[in-house]
Structure 1
């Protein structure tokens, strides 16, 4: 399957198409409406193909198969053969590498033998249970009485009875074995450490359970990242809070499904309402990998991390056809001297009218972080340094083969080859 279908808005240069997406349009004729419906159907099929494409043995396999890669990367080049399984090479955390703390034990830990109160041995479906709760809530409102607070009260910011029941359902059906304490709390979600078993190999696996908050107040501009995205733009702002939250969670799952095929991003396992289960990036004891903000990196490690991150942004743009939209040092994990991108809820497809604006903002955040950490901007092709924001934008968006692009930016070669 070609990277771009002939009918797609991506067929031409993405930079050239950006302006056409923003320009006002006259009322559509019947034929144009029919053409648009057909284009949307074909576009959905292309998106589905991108998300269902099997994961390659290594997301950098195209770099590994070309001998020139080692010449470009110099003596510091390392193969990525271990990228496929973090568990084979556990990350050993040192005091100097991160300030992350060990996850607290859940209260109580969810496991198969610990059924949630209200769940029978017959495993009443979550949909049926939620239907009963919503029915009770409507009756209470109609009668003027107050809805029972326990139905909507939260524990640890996100764990209300509905959410707890969903987690128990995931355990009961075998997606997870145990759920532990919170390892990360953010503006829109909490992340919990969990263990499971791979169905194919029966090997233990570590997962991150991301639970979005049941209110949208903590991140009220979500509609900006949905309106204009042809995959989800169906009157998002007119939907009730529950449907908005469910759609936002599905957006994160689908973006991760696509991104993890091409770059280092946690591959998702399953999605349920406002819960996404994905691969855990960290060690087997539940210590998450540090973010770029937390990691203590040498000058040489910073140089390699910069190029690694810039190449990831390019691959995300051209192969996954996504722009992260909220990229910063807080949304990049650093493990085994590699960068892993996380938090894809804000990521937008290249059909979004503001995708280039979001790309420039991502590149600005990257430039500012590495500049604060001591890397200087390259002033000439012979000098060693990070690319200016405009040059980085050109590096990411240029349509040529990746190796032709790398050769067009000698400053990146210097970053790889310089030692400190």
Structure 2
């Protein structure tokens, strides 16, 4: 479901109090009991009941009686909290069109001091166990709801952009709130959707940026034609939540996989035969 700016504007301070209480209490509870929510919000019974029903109707929270009666944030509620925070900070003044949807994120146009992009991380419940297993920044055990998995994913990406920019051609990080990353807008096209006039120059530029990232201790971890953007002769490498450090035990294998994904694309579409070993050496030089 797309983010609704109207919901952000219509949010009453008591609605926000309920949402923030749920966010805080979900660190302890999978489903927050009504008594705990009453104690946290300090709202009267009638006021709390009204706010809960309103938020349920808006698809910002949900109620379930199994395994015990309780309430939990939905993605919509977490989106609203984050966007409200970014608006109050002055980072974002308007939310624009949805411009991209991935398996774990949605990307929107927006306005801040100028045009920006908002990437909203949505690590879904179906993929949560896979994320916990595959990504080193996630706790291996214990209570970690999907909202915090999404926030961890956003923090991981924001850290990479901060450390890599501007030496590596990545979006400029502007701000983050919870699971939402605000970054500079890139006027390019995804590599898989364009036809290049000089594909070898673009391939060399991609490998050059992979090498710069490697020199700073970062391996993308999920590199392919789908997360490289091109504007004439310049490239940007996007989508960094799965990065790993160059001292990771599987660093060599994952770096090689990233490089092979890119080489495979250029060989298939442009008939460029670039030996893997030569590409790896150019990156780790």
Task: Compute the RMSD of aligned alpha carbons.
Answer: 3.1
Number of the residue aligned with 1:99: none
**SS of alignment partner, residue 266 of structure 1:** coil
Aligned residues: 252
**SS of alignment partner, residue 277 of structure 1:** strand
Contact 1:293 1:330 in 2 (8 A): yes
Q: Does 2:234 correspond to 1:333?
A: no
Number of the residue aligned with 1:394: 281
Q: Does 2:153 correspond to 1:266?
A: no
TM-score when scaled to structure 2? 0.77
Equivalent residue in structure 1 for 2:243, among 347, 351, 362: 347
Equivalent residue in structure 1 for 2:181, among 276, 295, 298: 276
Q: Does 2:194 correspond to 1:295?
A: yes
User: Whole-Å Cα distance in 2 between the matches of residues 263 and 366 of structure 1?
Assistant: 17
| Pair 1:225–1:278, CA change in 2 (3 A) | farther
User: Whole-Å Cα distance in 2 between the matches of residues 224 and 133 of structure 1?
Assistant: 21
Number of the residue aligned with 2:203: 306
Cα offset, 1:126, TM superposition: 6.9
Equivalent residue in structure 1 for 2:9, among 93, 115, 125: 115
Higher relative contact order (CA 8 A, sep 6+): 1
> Deviation per CA, 1:362-414, whole angstroms, max 9, x where unpaired?
0110110000112332xxxxxxxxx301111111112xxxxxxxxxxxxxxxx
Cα offset, 1:218, TM superposition: 3.8
The structure carrying a bigger helix percent of its residues is 2
User: Whole-Å Cα distance in 1 between the matches of residues 111 and 75 of structure 2?
Assistant: 18
Number of the residue aligned with 1:207: 116
Contact 2:133 2:140 in 1 (8 A): no
Q: Does 2:257 correspond to 1:361?
A: yes
Q: Does 2:43 correspond to 1:138?
A: no
Number of the residue aligned with 2:142: 238
Name stretches of at least 5 consecutive residues in structure 1 with no aligned partner.
1-105, 198-204, 283-288, 378-386, 399-420
| Pair 1:224–1:126, CA change in 2 (3 A) | same
Name stretches of at least 5 consecutive residues in structure 2 with no aligned partner.
37-51, 63-73
Contact 1:110 1:180 in 2 (8 A): no
Cα offset, 1:252, TM superposition: 1.1
**SS of alignment partner, residue 9 of structure 2:** coil
| Pair 1:141–1:305, CA change in 2 (3 A) | farther
| Pair 1:175–1:129, CA change in 2 (3 A) | farther
The structure carrying a bigger strand percent of its residues is 2
> Deviation per CA, 1:60-103, whole angstroms, max 9, x where unpaired?
xxxxxxxxxxxxxxxxxxxxxxxxxxxxxxxxxxxxxxxxxxxx
| Pair 1:243–1:117, CA change in 2 (3 A) | closer
User: Whole-Å Cα distance in 1 between the matches of residues 196 and 242 of structure 2?
Assistant: 27
Contact 2:22 2:32 in 1 (8 A): no
Contact 1:225 1:348 in 2 (8 A): no
User: Whole-Å Cα distance in 1 between the matches of residues 24 and 133 of structure 2?
Assistant: 30
TM-score when scaled to structure 1? 0.54
Number of the residue aligned with 2:87: 171
> Deviation per CA, 1:161-218, whole angstroms, max 9, x where unpaired?
2312321221122011101121000011000111111xxxxxxx21111111152424
| Pair 1:247–1:341, CA change in 2 (3 A) | same
User: Whole-Å Cα distance in 2 between the matches of residues 138 and 290 of structure 1?
Assistant: 43
Larger radius of gyration: 1
Cα offset, 1:279, TM superposition: 1.1
